[in-house]
Amino acid sequence: MTRTQKLNAALIALASAVLLLFAIPAGAQGQNCGPREMVVERLADRFGETRRGIGLATQNRVVEIFASEATGTWTVTVTLPSGRTCLLASGQAWEDRMDDLAHLSDADT
């Protein structure tokens, strides 16, 4: 597995954990959700964010991580099987890292 793949796997695992902790109640989907195309366009236009990682979570939900080196912002989204995309988390000070994440695995000791 390449370093990029390891980093993406770690980011997707983190996003999946966030998804499990903050399940999206049906009533709360209105404010932080919308058609995927619109959400992605707004992240690009307002923050310069592009997709940095993607993975499949429980219940066929797609988790994506968007970030911008220029603005330092990042956003985690989940796209539901219906096609609706919701914001899970966002923040500042994004850094693209290519650290060796081998120490996070269950490697033989």
Torsion angle defined by CA atoms of residues 30, 70, 50 and 59, in that order, rounded to the nearest 10 degrees? -50
In terms of DSSP bridges, do strands 50-56 and 33-35 run parallel, antiparallel, or are they unpaired? unpaired
Sequence spans of domains, the chain: 3-98
pLDDT at res. 53: 93
How does pLDDT run across 26-62, given as a tens digit for each residue? 444 456 899 999 999 999 999 999 999 999 999 999 9
Tell me what pLDDT residue 103 has.
74
Helices (H) and strands (E) in the chain, counts: 3, 5
